[in-house]
Amino acid sequence: MTTTSTTDSYVLFTVADTTYALSSEDVRHMEMIEQITPVPNAAHYLEGVVLSRGQIVPVVNLRARFGFEKAPLDPSTRLLIVRSGERWVGLVVDSAREFVTIPRASIEPPSNALTGLSTDYLEGIANVGGRLVLVLDVANVLDASLASSVAARASAESTAAGVAPTPQTSV
C-alpha cells in the first residue's frame, strides 16, 4: 500500500524582506559565505564560484536575479546549495534558518493579476503562520533560456524607456 504525503518540507529564506521557500529536496545544504571568486564577464546576478564540500559551484545572487539591488554580505547572509537537474548551484540569500512543512493544498498558483517575470519563478504562494511565502521553482530560477527571455524582456523594456540594455550570460 502506497501513501502519498499531503505536506512537503521546505527551507524558508528571505531576499529583500520577502520570504521564499524551496523544496528541501532541492536543497543540498546551507552554509555561511566565506569567499566567492569572481568570474569575468559573467551575468550581473552571477557572483562567481565557491568551493563547497570539495565541489566548485557557481553562485547566483538572488537579489540581483530578481531585479533588486545587491546588498553587502553580512553574518546572516547564507549560501543555499541547490540542485536543478544535474547542476549544483549556490544561491546567495539574505537569511535562511527555517524548515517547515507546507500542506500541498495550501500552495496556490500565482494569481493571474501577477504577470511577467514575477510568475516565471514561482510555483505558488502559501500562507505559513500568517505570512505569505513565495514558493520558488528552482529549475526556472536557474533556467538559462528563461534568463535569456527575461533579459530580452528587460532589454526591450529598457530600450522602450530609452535606457541602454545590459549584456547577459547564462548560469
Domains, in order of start, for the chain: 7-143 (2.40.50.180)
Q: Report pLDDT for 45.
A: 92
pLDDT confidence bin for 92, thresholds 50/70/90: very high
1: Cβ–Cβ under 8 A, 6 or more apart, which residues?
A: none
CB-side neighbour CA atoms (13 Å) of 95 = 10
Q: Report pLDDT for 140.
A: 87
Q: Report pLDDT for 132.
A: 93
Q: Report pLDDT for 118.
A: 59
The average pLDDT across 14-19 equals 96
Strands (E), the chain: 7-15, 18-23, 27-32, 46-52, 55-61, 78-84, 87-93, 95-103, 107-108, 122-128, 131-136
With 80 as the cut, is the pLDDT of residue 142 above it?
Answer: yes
pLDDT confidence bin for 119, thresholds 50/70/90: low
Pick 109 or 7 by higher pLDDT. 109
% of the chain at pLDDT higher than 70: 76
With 60 as the cut, is the pLDDT of residue 169 above it?
Answer: no
Per mean pLDDT, which range of 60-64, 93-97, 112-116 is the poorest? 112-116
Q: Report pLDDT for 162.
A: 53
**4 is written with which cell numbers?**
502519498
The average pLDDT across 116-140 equals 85
Q: Report pLDDT for 141.
A: 87
Q: Report pLDDT for 49.
A: 95
